[in-house]
Amino acid sequence: MPFIPRVISEDFDRHPFSEDEKSLLRGCLEYPWDDARFLIYSDWVEENGEQDRAEFIREQIRTKSWIVPEHIPEFVREWAKKIHFGEAALYQFHKGLPIDFNLNNPTPDTPTEQTESWDRAFWDWCCSCSVSIISPLVLSHILKSPYLQNVMELSLWGEDDYHAFTKPSEAKKFASAQTLCNTRYLNLTSQKIPDESMQYLVESPHLENLDKFHFAYCIMTTKGFQILMRSMIIPRLTRLYFAGCSFRKDWLKTISKLEAMPKLNDILFDQCEITDEIGCELFKAPLFHSATELSFEDNELGDKTADVIAQTPAFIKLLKLNLNYNALSEKGVHALKQSPYLQNCELVGLDFQK
């Protein structure tokens, strides 16, 4: 029988929390992987007249082993769709907890409703999630939770006041977390990544199954980029994305020295401020010659780059090339469309240039 997630009853949030309920909720929020605390809270909820919400909490405890998608009940899948990638509906799915719960003057060790993204109901039933890392406490809870090992796709978003890996010690903790063992896709967004932190990330023994690595609006030095691109993690990837990361000239030297990587078939450098001068050298690099999909949207690539691409036989393997919103003239567009090596390639965005 499907359980309807009545996270808040009709009159629940019209009354102040009792001290007993505050105490129980504090325990649930501090230890979201402790089943006993949630079961005790469910008993209290039932005793206080909300049997349906109590059964919802117990149902989540009973189904904690349902981590394979085909074993997840349909009604749970529908909820999971709504909270995919950390949308607002995530806060309506917190294991039966009231979404407006917030202790008065919480202690530093007590997460509030703003830091509940690590809640175990989310980890149990979703193969992917996105979390805003707004404090070391949130990162610590994520890494301690045994339910992280169910997550195959993980996105970590930085905030103005806190970036997860600014301190190398935090990156070391992250890289040492055994619960990352099943992660296939890691997306780091708006993160400042010092060189030492990058070294810890790429040397993590628990990211050996990583298949896709995305960096969006991240800040790293030339040395940090070298550490990443020369690491053993890159040849294992099928997808490598950089979006909104300012491309430095010295990055070109690093890329030019890399060999082709047969497994790495999808590479993206969108919004990276790549000029035509850099682009025409960049596309000569063997790294791009084994790819089947390349995206360089919203850069400053022009006709010189178009000529290099059009005249490179290695791009006969290319199936999709996105050059939307660059600086190509009709001449450059014509060269690409007439290239004998791009006849089987889908050319995206050639008609939308700056």
Could you tell me if 313 and 285 are in contact, meaning their C-beta atoms sit under 8 angstroms apart? no
> What DSSP state is assigned to residue 245?
P
Summarised one tens digit per residue, pLDDT across range 222-266 is 999 999 999 999 999 999 999 999 999 999 999 999 999 999 999
* Average of per-residue pLDDT values in the chain: 76
Residue 133 has a pLDDT of 59
In the block, residue with structure tokens 């001449």: 331
**The whole model's pTM is what?**
0.69
Whether the pLDDT of residue 44 is over 80: the answer is yes
Residue 91 has a pLDDT of 31
State in Å, rounded, how far the first CA of the chain is from the last one.
56
Residue 219 has a pLDDT of 94
Whether the pLDDT of residue 61 is over 90: the answer is no
What is the full DSSP assignment across 28-76?
Answer: HHH-TT-HHHHHHHHHHHHHTT-HHHHHHHHHHHHTTT--SGGGS-HHH
Residue 26 has a pLDDT of 67
Residue 29 has a pLDDT of 59
Angle between helices 168-175 and 195-202 (to 10 degrees): 0
Domain boundaries, the chain: 1-118
Backbone angles phi, psi at 245, to 5 degrees: -100, 115
Tell me the Cα Rg of the chain: 24
Residue 17 has a pLDDT of 61
Q: 324 vs 106, which has greater pLDDT?
A: 324
Q: Provide the percentage of residues in the chain whose pLDDT is more than 90.
A: 50
Summarised one tens digit per residue, pLDDT across range 124-182 is 334 455 555 556 665 666 676 655 666 677 878 887 767 889 999 989 999 998 878 88
Residue 215 has a pLDDT of 97
Tell me how far apart the alpha carbons of residues 284 and 290 are, in angstroms, rounded to a whole number: 12
Asked which of 44-58, 76-90, 317-331 is least confident by mean pLDDT, the reply is 76-90
